[in-house]
Amino acid sequence: MIPKETKVVIVGGGIAGASVAYHLTRLGWKDVVLLEQNKLGGGTTWHAAGMVGRLRTTNSMTKINQASAEIYAGLEKETGHSVGWKQVGSVIVGKSSERMVQLHRTCAMAELMGVEAGIISAEEARHRWPLIRADDLLGAAWLPHDGKVIPREVPIALAKAARQRGAQVIEGVRVLGIEHTNGRATGVLTDQGALEAEFVVLTGGMWSRELALRCGVNLPLYPVEHHYVVTDPIPGAFDELPLGRDPDLCIYFRGEGQGIMLGAFQKFTKPWLVEKIPDDFSFKLLEPDWEKYQEPLAAGRWRIPALEKCGFEKFVNGPESFTADNNWLMGETPELGNLFVLTGFNSIGIASSGGAGKYLAEWIIEGQPTMDLWSVDVRRFGPWANNRAFLRERVTETLGLHYQMAWPNREFETGRGLRKSPLHDRLAAQGACFGVKNGWERPNWFARAASSSSPLNGVRGGSLQGQPFATKPAAEYSFSRQNWLPNHAAEHQAAREQVAVFDQTGFSKFILKGRDAVTVLQRLCGNNVEVPIGRAVYTGLFNHRGGFESDLTVIRTATAEFSIITGSAQSVRDFNWITRNLRPGEQAALVDVTSAFSILGVMGPNSRTLLRRVTEADLSNPAFPFLDSRLITLGQAMVRAVRITYVGELGWELHVPAEQAVLVYDTLMAAGSDLGIANAGHYAINSLRLEKGFRAWGAELSSDDTPLEAGLEFAIDWKKEFLGREALLKQKQAGIQRRLVLFVLEDPEPVLWGGEPIYRDGVPVGCTASGSYGHTVGGAIAMGYVNCAAGATPEFVRSGRFEIVIGDRRWPARAHLRPPYDPERKRVLADG
Ligand SMILES: Cc1cc2nc3c(=O)[nH]c(=O)nc-3n(C[C@H](O)[C@H](O)[C@H](O)COP(=O)(O)OP(=O)(O)OC[C@H]3O[C@@H](n4cnc5c(N)ncnc54)[C@H](O)[C@@H]3O)c2cc1C
C-alpha cells in the first residue's frame, strides 16, 4: 500500500533514486517515499561494470565522484549490507604523444582537485596490470584511490540506510503520471492510486523521458547499447586487478573473479531502437551483438594477449540513457516547479550517483544548488534537444566521447544543422567553419582562398608570419596550434585595425514588459537599470550566495519595457531565473524573442565610417555615446543599433529583424569593401575579449564566482537592494580569497585553451578558465582564478612569479590585473 501523501516522492529505485533518498534522510527529511516499478536496481544499475573513478574534468564533477567513492567505501559499515567496494586503483594507458599530453593535463588537474594521480612509465603500467602488452605504450596515468562496487548491491544498501532514517521504499509500484497544478508538481498517479507530494523527484533512468513528456517536461535522453564481456577464468587474472582503460583503443578492462571484464566505448555505437521503453524491462538485457563487438574484442586481444585463447562466460548488452552532450540531467525542471530530476547518466551513473544524490538533496532542501552544477543542469537544453530523431543520431556519438581525445574546441559531428541563422548559407559559402552552441550553428572561423594576400602584417603573434591559411572549413584538432590559427589571426586583426562583422544571432534575447518590469529587474540585477529609454546596462544576476546566475545586457526600450540579451547557452536558464523570481501580483511578462532577431556585431575602428555610409542616423560620439541604443535606418532596413562592444573596439551591435538579416548583411559587405571589412567568427571574439579582459559566463563567471572575485564590482550599484547583495557585502568586508587574473605567456609559441593549472612561485594556485591566442598582445592569453586563503590581494598577484602548465611543462606567464591591451591608446601594456 502506498501512503496518500508525503513531502517527497522519488520515482525510480535505481542507484540515482536510492541515493537521493539516502541523502534527503541524511539531511533530516524523513517524510520521503521511494517508488520502484520492479525491484531496486533492476533498470540499468544491476548490470553495470561497477567502476568508480574519482576524477572528472571539472571541480564540481570531481567533488561529486569523490563523494560517491567515500559513501560507497563506508556503506557496509553504515548499513551492514556489503556493496563489494574495493579500492583497486586505476590505470589509463597512452600510446600516442597527444594522449600523453591529455594524461598529463588530467594529472595536473587532479592535483588541484585533491585527487591523487601521477604519470607512470609503460613498464610500471604493466607491473600494475601484469597481463597487458606495454611495448607500444608511451606511459600511463595511475589513480590509486579509484575503486569498484557490485552495482546491484548499492541501491539496496542506500535504500536500507534511507529506510533506517524513516523513508518508505516501496517496490512493485509503477508511476503513471506526474500530477501538477499552476506550473508546480503536486504528486504522482500510480497503478495503486494517487500520492500527493510537495516535491517529486524523477530518477527513472531511460524511462524518464517518456514519463516527463506526459506532463510537458523535456528530458532529452535516449538509450544506447553499451557492451562488455566477461571471460572464463584466465591464469594470472584476479578480482583485485586495477580498473584499466585504453582510450586510444576505446576499451576498458578489470578483474572479475578469476576472469577479465572487457568493455567498450566505441567511437560510434547504436541507439536502442524501441518505440517505447518496455515497462517490464527489469533485470533484462538486449541480445549479444558479437558482430558490433568484433572491433573492441580485437582491441582487447591486442592489449591483453591472454584474451586470444579464452572463452567468454557472459556478454552484457545493456541499454543506458545518454544525453546530447554526455553530461547527465539534474535539478528542478523549468517547466514544472518542485519537479526535480536526476537522470540520463551516460554510463557513469555508478561512479556519480552517490555524490549527485547528495547535491540534488541539498538543492531540494535549500531551493538552489549549493555549488556550480551548470554542466549537468537540466536547464541547459531547450525543447529543440528533445527531438527523438535528433537524439537517436546524437547519442551514437556521445557514448564514444568518454574515450575520444578531449580536444580543445572539439565539435559534435552528428545532429548538426538544427538551428541556423538567416545568414548561415551566405557565411557557409564564404568558408565559415561552424561550431554548435545550444543547437545554434555559429561560425567559429572562416577558411580563406589560398590566394589571399597575407593580412598578418602587424599582428604581434609574429611567429605566425608565413604560416599558410587553412583553406578548408574543417578544424584539425591538436593541443598545440590548430590549422585555423592564421585565419583566426586575420579575423582578430580585422577587428582591431579595420572592421569585422560577427554573426551573433544565437545570443538569447528576451523582452520583459509590463508595469513592474523596472521593479523586477532592479531586484534581480546588481547594476542600476532604471536608466533613460534607449540606454543599455551591463549587469549580473546573482544568487543568494552572491554568485553569478548570469551576466547580461539590459536595454531599456520603453518606460516599462526592456530588451535582454544573454549568452547562447543559457536561454532556458536565464528565462527560468527571471520568471521564477517574479512575485505574485507583479505585472511583468517575459517573452523569448531569440528566433525573431539576428544580432550582427560591426566592430573595429572603421565601424563608424562603414555605418555612416548606410544610415542617416548621427553616429558621432555626442549624438550616439557608448551604451546608447536606438532604432536606425540601415540601407533599406530598420535595426536597433546598440553602441556596445565585447571585443574592445569601437562598434555597434545591430539587432535586426530575422527577415532583414540578409538585407543588412549584404548592405554592410557592399559598403565596406574598401574599409577592409571581414567576416569574423567566435574564436576571434574569444581572443579579442580576453585581451580586453571581458569575462564570459560559463567560463570565468559561474554561480560559484562573485563579482568581487571576478573584478566586476564596477557593475554593482550598492545603493540599491538586489538579490545577492547581502552575501556580497559580507564578502566585501571579509575580503576575497580568490581573484580573477589575466595571463599572457612570455613565450609566443604555445597556445592556451583553458583548464591549465596556474602556479605561483612553484605552488599550484588555480587553473585557467578560458584561453586563446592573443594576436595583438603576441602570445597565448588566458584568465583564471588564483586562490590564497590569507587574501587574494592585488599584492599577492603582483609579487608572484607565475607559470602555466601545458602538458608536462610549466611556461612563465605575465599576470595582469588590468587588461593587457588598451584600445583607447592602441597599445599593449607590459604588466598589470
Ligand atoms: C553495460 C554497462 C556498463 C556500465 N558500467 C558502468 C560503470 O562501470 N561505472 C559507472 O559509473 N556506470 C556504469 N554504467 C552506467 C550505470 O549503470 C547507469 O548510469 C546507472 O545505473 C543509472 O542509474 P539510474 O538510477 O539513473 O537508472 P536505473 O538503474 O535504470 O534506475 C531507474 C529505475 O527507475 C525505475 N522506473 C522507471 N520508470 C518508473 C516508473 N514509471 N515508476 C516506477 N519506477 C520507475 C526503473 O524500474 C529503474 O529501476 C554502465 C551501464 C551499462 C549499460
DSSP three-state, residue 594: helix
Q: Are 785 and 705 in contact (CB under 8 A)?
A: yes
pLDDT in tens, 412-449: 999 999 999 999 999 999 999 999 999 999 999 999 87
pLDDT at 665: 98
Helix or strand run (H / E) with residue 230: strand 221-231
Kind of pairing between the strands at 757-760 and 802-806: antiparallel
Dihedral pair phi/psi, residue 430, rounded to 5°: -100, 20
Cα–Cα distance, 538 to 627 (Å, whole number): 9
Q: Which of 21, 55, 493 is nearest to 243 (CA)?
A: 55
Work out the average pLDDT over 177-197. Answer: 98
Does residue 459 surpass a pLDDT of 90?
Answer: no
693 pocket-lining for ligand 1 (C-beta < 6 Å): no
Burial 421-449 (b: 16+ CB within 10 A, else e): bbbbebbeebbbbbbbbbbbbbbbbbbbe
Q: Nearest residue CA, atom 35 of ligand 1? A: 12
Cβ atoms < 10 Å from Cβ of 238 = 14
pLDDT over 90, % of the chain? 93
pLDDT at 111: 85
Cα–Cα distance, 632 to 16 (Å, whole number): 54
pLDDT in tens, 251-303: 999 999 999 999 999 999 999 989 899 999 999 999 999 999 999 999 999 99
Q: Which of 723, 705, 435 is nearest to 568 (CA)?
A: 435
Query: Quick one: CA torsion of 633, 636, 639, 643, rounded to 10 degrees?
Result: -50
253 pocket-lining for ligand 1 (C-beta < 6 Å): no
CA distances to 53, 283, 531, 633 from 542, rounded to whole Å, are 33, 45, 20, 36
Q: Quick one: pLDDT band at residue 535, thresholds 50, 70, 90?
A: very high
pLDDT in tens, 214-256: 999 999 999 999 999 999 999 999 999 999 999 999 999 999 9
192 pocket-lining for ligand 1 (C-beta < 6 Å): no
CB proximity list for 278: less than 8 A, separation 6 or greater: none
Cα–Cα distance, 73 to 87 (Å, whole number): 8
Q: Are 766 and 112 in contact (CB under 8 A)?
A: yes
DSSP three-state, residue 803: strand
Q: What one-character-per-residue DSSP string does 403-444 give?
A: TS---TT---SSS--SB--TTHHHHHHTTEEEEEETTEEEEE
CB proximity list for 134: less than 8 A, separation 6 or greater: 93, 122, 123, 125, 126
205 pocket-lining for ligand 1 (C-beta < 6 Å): yes
Q: Are 256 and 239 in contact (CB under 8 A)?
A: yes
Does residue 463 surpass a pLDDT of 90?
Answer: no
DSSP 460: S
Cα–Cα distance, 58 to 66 (Å, whole number): 12
201 pocket-lining for ligand 1 (C-beta < 6 Å): no
Q: Are 155 and 14 in contact (CB under 8 A)?
A: yes
Q: Are 64 and 359 in contact (CB under 8 A)?
A: yes
pLDDT at 458: 46
Q: Quick one: pLDDT band at residue 457, thresholds 50, 70, 90?
A: very low
Which atom of ligand 1 sits closest to the CA of residue 346? 19
Q: Which of 807, 540, 488 is nearest to 679 (CA)?
A: 488
Q: Nearest residue CA, atom 2 of ligand 1? A: 48
Cβ atoms < 10 Å from Cβ of 584 = 4
Cα–Cα distance, 553 to 39 (Å, whole number): 50
Which atom of ligand 1 sits closest to the CA of residue 39? 49
Q: Which of 528, 530, 655, 653 is nearest to 601 (CA)?
A: 653
Which atom of ligand 1 sits closest to the CA of residue 344? 26
226 pocket-lining for ligand 1 (C-beta < 6 Å): yes
Cα–Cα distance, 527 to 554 (Å, whole number): 10
- Region for 200 from its dihedrals, namely left if φ exceeds 0, alpha if ψ lies in -120 to 50, beta otherwise: beta
343 pocket-lining for ligand 1 (C-beta < 6 Å): yes
In angstroms, how far is CA 303 from the centroid of its own chain? 33
| The three cell numbers locating residue 762 | 612553484
Measured in angstroms, how far is the CA atom of residue 152 from the centroid of ligand 1? Answer: 10
Q: Which of 703, 429, 411, 745 is nearest to 573 (CA)?
A: 703
Does residue 15 surpass a pLDDT of 60?
Answer: yes
Q: Which residues sit opposite 227 in a β-bridge?
A: 317
Helix or strand run (H / E) with residue 529: none
CB proximity list for 457: less than 8 A, separation 6 or greater: none
Cα–Cα distance, 201 to 221 (Å, whole number): 17
Measured in angstroms, how far is the CA atom of residue 347 from the centroid of ligand 1? Answer: 9
342 pocket-lining for ligand 1 (C-beta < 6 Å): no
Does residue 654 surpass a pLDDT of 60?
Answer: yes
Q: Give the 3-state secondary structure percentages of the chain, helix then strand then coil, rounded to 5.
A: 30, 30, 40
pLDDT in tens, 31-41: 999 999 999 99
Cα–Cα distance, 513 to 561 (Å, whole number): 4
pLDDT at 480: 93
Please name the residue ranges forming H helices in 638-769: 661-671, 682-691, 725-734
Helix or strand run (H / E) with residue 704: none
pLDDT at 832: 46
Does residue 653 surpass a pLDDT of 80?
Answer: yes
Residue type, 609: T
pLDDT at 466: 72
DSSP three-state, residue 653: strand
pLDDT at 452: 55
Cα–Cα distance, 770 to 305 (Å, whole number): 42
Cα–Cα distance, 549 to 543 (Å, whole number): 6
DSSP 279: T
Please choose from 153, 207, 282, 399 the residue to mutate so as to test ligand 1's pocket, defined by most ligand atoms within 8 A of CB: 207
Q: Quick one: pLDDT band at residue 334, thresholds 50, 70, 90?
A: very high
CA distances to 64, 91, 313 from 145, rounded to whole Å, are 15, 11, 29
Q: Are 561 and 611 in contact (CB under 8 A)?
A: no
Cα–Cα distance, 406 to 252 (Å, whole number): 17
Q: Are 593 and 586 in contact (CB under 8 A)?
A: no
Cα–Cα distance, 769 to 753 (Å, whole number): 8
Residues in the chain: 832
Please choose from 11, 320, 348 the residue to mutate so as to test ligand 1's pocket, defined by most ligand atoms within 8 A of CB: 320
Which atom of ligand 1 sits closest to the CA of residue 42? 49
pLDDT at 692: 96
DSSP three-state, residue 302: helix
pLDDT in tens, 24-33: 999 999 999 9
Place of cell 559499515: 77
Cα–Cα distance, 706 to 738 (Å, whole number): 10
Measured in angstroms, how far is the CA atom of residue 258 from the centroid of ligand 1? Answer: 26
326 pocket-lining for ligand 1 (C-beta < 6 Å): no
613 pocket-lining for ligand 1 (C-beta < 6 Å): no
Please choose from 20, 34, 39, 44 the residue to mutate so as to test ligand 1's pocket, defined by most ligand atoms within 8 A of CB: 44
Report the predicted TM-score, pTM, of the whole model to 2 decimal places.
Answer: 0.96
Q: What is the CA radius of gyration of the chain?
A: 27
497 pocket-lining for ligand 1 (C-beta < 6 Å): no
Which atom of ligand 1 sits closest to the CA of residue 343? 26
Q: Which residues sit opposite 178 in a β-bridge?
A: 188
CA distances to 9, 170, 630 from 196, rounded to whole Å, are 8, 15, 52
17 pocket-lining for ligand 1 (C-beta < 6 Å): yes
Q: Nearest residue CA, atom 4 of ligand 1? A: 48
| The three cell numbers locating residue 197 | 507530494
Q: Quick one: pLDDT band at residue 827, thresholds 50, 70, 90?
A: low
In angstroms, how far is CA 410 from the centroid of its own chain? 13
Q: Are 681 and 445 in contact (CB under 8 A)?
A: yes
